[in-house]
Chains A and B, each alone.
Chain A
Amino acid sequence: DVKVTQSSRYLVKRTGEKVFLECVQDMDHENMFWYRQDPGLGLRLIYFSYDVKMKEKGDIPEGYSVSREKKERFSLILESASTNQTSMYLCASSLFGSEQYFGPGTRLTVT
């Protein structure tokens, strides 16, 4: 079974804080993804990585950065959290050309 884990299920941070969200997959998948999901807007891709140290911007990268130092781990960084980054954050992974598997999600609230 594919397993994608995320570091926190719920997180509350203050405006201006630096926030790290971590994602780990145990199936040796090449691709890893970070999405955010908001009511009425669906899933939106923030960043995508297809290999260690490789990254590609998604649809809404502004205000976010990512790091992939090891194949199994993909981190999303909010350099200075803002209230409009309050959302559900979902990590996913996949083999090349295959379906994506999602982690449980992190519900982030920025106050």
Chain B
Amino acid sequence: QKEVEQNSGPLSVPEGAIASLNCTYSDRGSQSFFWYRQYSGKSPELIMFIYSNGDKEDGRFTAQLNKASQYVSLLIRDSQPSDSATYLCAVPIFGNEKLTFGTGTRLTIIP
């Protein structure tokens, strides 16, 4: 089992709809979880982080964490064409400073 898994997509969502991105992780001891957005040809940009079970909202973005089931998701409400990008989930593994990244989910918002 990979340490961090994401569906590679592509995931196509109509403009204005909710995009739902999922990530599962293997280390039950992980305490923090990060979502990065990466536009084609650009570097990853941090958009959300979450430490506690439940939901965390920031504008149109909501991160959801379920430690018992070992998954973290990112919801994007009112999806815009500018949200079209690859979304990377990242988790510190084995309690150290390094992050393990998923391979990313490519999201396309269809106007």
Contact = CB atoms under 8 A, between A and B. Distances in A.
B43 interface: yes
B45 A58 contact: no
The range of chain B's interface size is 10 to 19
Given A48-B97, A58-B98, A96-B97, A104 B44 contact: no
Contacts of A58: 98
Contact of B44 (A31, A50, A90, A97): A90
Nearest to B101: A43
Given A104-B43, A105-B42, A31 B101 contact: no
Interface residues of A, number: 21
A105 B43 contact: yes
Contacts, number: 40
Contact of A94 (B97, B102, B104): B97
B43 A103 contact: yes
B44 A99 contact: no
B49 interface: yes
A43 B88 contact: yes
Interface in A17-40: 31, 33, 40
A58 B90 CA distance: 16
A77 interface: no
A45 B98 contact: yes
Interface of A: 31, 33, 40-43, 45, 48, 50, 58, 90, 94, 96-97, 99-105
Interface of B: 32, 34, 36, 42-46, 49, 88, 90, 97-99, 101-104
